[in-house]
Amino acid sequence: MLIRCPECGEKISDKCVYCVHCGYPYRELSEVKSQKVNICIIDGIEFDLTKPYVMTMRFKKNQIGKVTDIIKEIVAITSIRNASDLYTEMFNSEKVPRRWMDVAPQKESTPAVVVQQPQVGVVTCPYCHSTNVKRIGRFGKEASIYFKGIASAKMAKQWHCNNCNSNF
């Protein structure tokens, strides 16, 4: 049966918890709790998520409140670690999921990238960060300038990387 919202005057269902137009809480939370509509089973335990659900729907319709407050409310009720994922699920589906796992399944782990700090006094290539470098000697510079002239790539360079063949 459709009734009028006392806040905005739009038609809404008499079974709804809040007005879908303005977010006005149509029924008291105590009435909704008795219906067990917003019960979520997390790791075998039932939790009533009516309050965070109503907060989520009010935020979605009118941007009333803060997302962090909703997530804190979910944590206060359930003590789960992935409360932000549960909030996202409620926000996107516009309903409380019937079952939820506390921790999402672990993704395959990727090996950690170890970044080594450059050693003091060790020359490294600025392009590939290799330490496989050699000093361009005086003879190498002079020969390059003699054959290529002033356009020589080694003219103002001091080091050559054996890894990427760059001069720096």
CB 163, CB 125: distance < 8 Å: yes
Note the pLDDT tens digit of each residue in 122-160. Answer: 888 888 888 888 887 776 666 666 666 665 655 667 788
Reported pTM:
0.43
Using DSSP, state whether 71 is helix, strand or coil.
Answer: helix
- Rounded-to-integer distance, Cα 102 and Cα 42, Å: 6
In the chain, pLDDT over 70 holds for what percent of residues?
71
pLDDT digits (tens, 9 = 90+) for 74-109: 888 888 888 888 888 888 888 888 888 876 545 555
For 76-103, letters b (16+ CB in 10 Å) and e give ebbebebbebbbebbeeeeebeeebeee
Q: What is the CA radius of gyration of the chain?
A: 33
- Cα 92 to its chain centre, rounded Å, is 16
Amino acid at 147: F
Report the distance separating Cα 92 and Cα 59, nearest Å: 12
> Structural domain boundaries of the chain?
2-100, 123-168
The residue count of the chain comes to: 168
Strand locations in the chain, DSSP E?
A: 2-4, 11-13, 39-42, 45-48, 99-100, 133-135, 159-161
